[in-house]
Structure 1
């Protein structure tokens, strides 16, 4: 039973840290453009190398 006195506050603290991290990312616009990343990875941005 003594272990629960330690584990419950740790679990609540980790849950609060995860919630804080999610809310921080949401407010900073991390989840605004979900489609753009899927398309951006398919584009070829690099310039072709000049012939030798």
Structure 2
């Protein structure tokens, strides 16, 4: 039962890190043009 005192705060911190990472990626424009990135592999330079 004592392990819950460690796991619950760690899981909350992990969720906050994931949310912060998603916010950072959206703010930096990582998801602006997903289709173009998939087609970039098929084009030869």
Q: Same fold (TM over 0.5)?
A: yes
Instruction: Give 5+ residue unaligned stretches, structure 1.
Output: 46-52
Structure showing greater radius of gyration is: 1
Any runs of at least 4 consecutive aligned residues in structure 1 with deviations exceeding 2 A, and if so which? Answer: none
Q: More relative contact order in 1 or in 2 (CA 8 Å, sep 6+)?
A: 2
Instruction: Give 5+ residue unaligned stretches, structure 2.
Output: none
Q: CA RMSD in A?
A: 0.5
May I ask how many residue pairs the two structures share in their alignment? 45
**TM-score with structure 2 setting the length:** 0.95
